[in-house]
Amino acid sequence: MRIIRACVVLLFAGVAAGANAQGAGEGVVKLPDQIEWKAPAVSPGPSTAVLYGDPSKVGVFVSRLKIPAGFKIMPHTHPDEWRTVVVLSGTIYFGLGDKWDDTKLQPRPTQGYRI
């Protein structure tokens, strides 16, 4: 358990250092009523909100997704090196691979995360 806690602390320290190195200046605070949600590209589909940074550019960014129950995000790749997922409510089923395979999905419940 100590190793997991240490890894989480190092992760957040690394993200904070990266954001600071990019000249973030003051911290970013957004209250729930200040979050600007974008409508899904397909319906039903995930709504998105960018909280910090620009996902289309190299560098640190933070975004949120609201994914409808039962919606499947098909296998895909990202051009950057890593993504961190934190589940705020519900359960997300996560798997790796280039083809959809229900047998490889692992549940990530509320308060779970994936690095």
Q: What is the pLDDT of residue 28?
A: 81
| Percent of residues, the chain, with pLDDT higher than 70 | 75
Q: What is the pLDDT of residue 10?
A: 35
* Helix %, strand %, coil % of the chain (to 5): 25, 20, 55
Q: What is the pLDDT of residue 25?
A: 65
Question: Does 5 score more than 70 pLDDT?
Answer: no
For residues 53-80, give the mean pLDDT.
Answer: 86
Q: What is the pLDDT of residue 97?
A: 84
36: which residues sit within 8 A by CB, 6+ positions away? Answer: 49, 50
Q: Does an H or E element contain 95, and which? A: none
Question: Does 3 score more than 80 pLDDT?
Answer: no
